Structure 1
């Protein structure tokens, strides 16, 4: 969604990737028109077309996910247009199905964000990366999010104290720039309501960030049940060396201390050496008596079948959660995946 006129809106509408499968929801991306047809990394997005729609047509949509991306963002103009031309009940109905809100490099103000949040009745998850809100502004934003009964958050900045103070979340993801500093966890912060944790990126302070985080993870997340560990936290590519073995040992220790029901490792494994390393990782986990260790390999978007460059290890005694991780990471998030599970390692 881009620049607005009083009676119409400029929209870049993506083509459907399939006319056979059902559409799970509608994504509303609010961004400057100069960023149309680009993803958050600036690369070409899926095919689509630029069209101008009447507001009446827009209001027939019911977005389930809203993304607010990049600079010169038209969110303020959008909200002003809605409030000037529509009743509060109509605006609330338009946003009624929104479950996820995501910010990425957006230059919006805290006031404009809170004005948008005021239109929601409930919100399941909130994600942000490379924002510039002050500590006081974050407190205001998180206070508002708490009234929406948010259950999941994707954190990319050092606002851990504010999150712990204002939110009772069950799912946390650590990813994006600039990243969360491990020192906040070493200082004793606790998230007693978090049962699922995804660790994808941390703020880089040295070569032992991953080890330091794993040392305090059981204390910071005492009721954790599910851990998804992206090896990117350690190194962009997986290889077997002394540090890798040490981190695997720490991951096993976390599993044992918390008695995790589900555990997963995702790693970039583009070469035969990396694939050998992920198999060795799976063997080490199996030898540690982790239950139902399973290894998958798949290809990321743009690669042909058989050219797998990522691997996923899933383990644990909760079959439903393991299948959910497999389905979301392996079958849905990655296009052109290879033919299913390549190995199942039983203890």
Structure 2
């Protein structure tokens, strides 16, 4: 019987059926096309060997541990990252807690404690620049030598470049999203940028204007440009709806500084409060504008709806992953 996708967080034990597999190792924030080159290679190795394919990643992002005072726009929080990894076809993801104590492990101790004892891997796949262990002492050459000592194979994947020969990175994607370039970011991600959160109550102003919204609070570090977007909204039951969303900070809402995403879901009636929903961003329509009155606001909202419907009517999946997430 086929096993369900498994997300192993914290110090949970790894079940026997996941041991002996091929593991892709890295932080993989964004699961962008560069990461996917590594992940697809791991899936291919696992298929050839007839063993499970796993992803070993680290939570929180190491930069949050080493530079806690520097805000970091995390593209794929753990639950979103796990969803993308599952959609790619992996058997499971191991979310290793990243702490200062863990970062102090020597490279050899990391290999023994995590790769050998916890996972019992048969093969590791990483990017060409992956480093691990105290002071980043473990690099590609060390990992390959360790594999020979401990009985597992190693595959290194070269940097992935876009059509303009630039290396695809999470930093580039963060910069594009901060500029409202949702379509360009999608080109590097290989799928539409997607957020996931609980639908919460709002001021209900939209409802009185004929534009009821599903409101979601995102991380205070979310670096997405504030403004109006054409989006796809996925309900907890998996149903998908087109919509138009406003993203920004509303000082009149007691949201503790967290940005609020307000989505007017097209052709939908029902109660979404308390559901975990996702929103995929297809295009940036305009910046936020302060209107003189509600009548002017309603006129603009109708224009936004028409523009979003037109944009979304012609979209096509960028990849199988995009199809799984936003179609």
For Structure 1 versus Structure 2, the TM-score category normalised by the shorter chain is: 0.3 to 0.5
TM-score of the aligned structures, taking structure 2 as reference length? 0.32
TM-score of the aligned structures, taking structure 1 as reference length? 0.31
